[in-house]
A = this chain, B = another copy of it.
Amino acid sequence: MRGDAAVPARTLIVKAAAIEFAARGYEAASLRAIARRAGVDAALVHHYFAAKADLFAETVAAPIRPDRAVAVILRGPRDEFGTRIVRFILEELDHPEARTRVVTLLRTAVGTGPGSRLFKQFLVREVFLRLAQAVDGDDADLRAALAASQIAGMLMARFVLELEPLASASVDELVARIGPVVQWHLTGYGAPPDPG
């Protein structure tokens, strides 16, 4: 793509990123390698995209940016992480266009292509692992995976399987039902919960 003056540098970077992510996975791909592949200076990549997560979100046309919400959620009370991430995701997806795109992404994530690995690495690393690490305790990676499993199941049930009445339930109702479960997973309890 180098030297193609008809294509804006930003477009070259996004195309190079898509190839680099597919080839190396989210974690191993670097902004430096993406710049090299696009034939631009690394500083130019940083000019357009502050972080690898921003570039990834653009390559998959991510309908929402849970990684950005995490920065806000981390500044709040630790015992509200679960309900706040569930509320953020459900509220942001409460629009027809966002729903359509998330269904496409979810189908990609469970498919056999490289999109599956990418999606998983991105969400775990930029969202769930950061929340789990901010909660005291060992095995943050297992806690992150467990929290991700409930969020993935919620999205599948609501948007892909359209499992009623969960699919039509209000955001508030689902936050009340599923938020505590995600908090439970992030906290890493292994004993039966006592609902009091």
- Mark A residues whose CB is within 8 Å of B: 79, 83, 106-107, 109-112, 116, 120, 124, 139, 141-142, 145-146, 148-154, 156-158, 160-161, 163-166, 169, 173, 176-181, 183-185, 187-196
Q: Which of B109, B142, B166, B185 contacts A142 (CB 8 A)?
A: B166
Question: CB-CB < 8 A to A152: which residues of B?
Answer: 152-153, 156-157, 161
Beyond A110-B161, A148-B153, 18 additional pairs, beta carbon < 8 A: A107-B112, A116-B160, A120-B161, A124-B163, A141-B164, A142-B166, A146-B177, A149-B156, A152-B153, A176-B191, A177-B185, A177-B190, A180-B192, A184-B184, A184-B193, A189-B195, A191-B196, A194-B195
A151–B150 touching, CB < 8 Å: no
B116–A161 touching, CB < 8 Å: yes
Given the complex of chains A and B, what is the CA–CA distance between A185 and B184 in angstroms? 13
Question: CB-CB < 8 A to A145: which residues of B?
Answer: 157, 163-166
Question: CB-CB < 8 A to A177: which residues of B?
Answer: 142, 146, 185, 188-190
Given the complex of chains A and B, what is the CA–CA distance between A188 and B165 in angstroms? 13
Interface centre among A112, A139, A157, A164 (most CB of B within 10 A): A157
Question: CB-CB < 8 A to A190: which residues of B?
Answer: 173, 176-177
Question: CB-CB < 8 A to A165: which residues of B?
Answer: 139, 141-142, 145
A149–B176 touching, CB < 8 Å: no
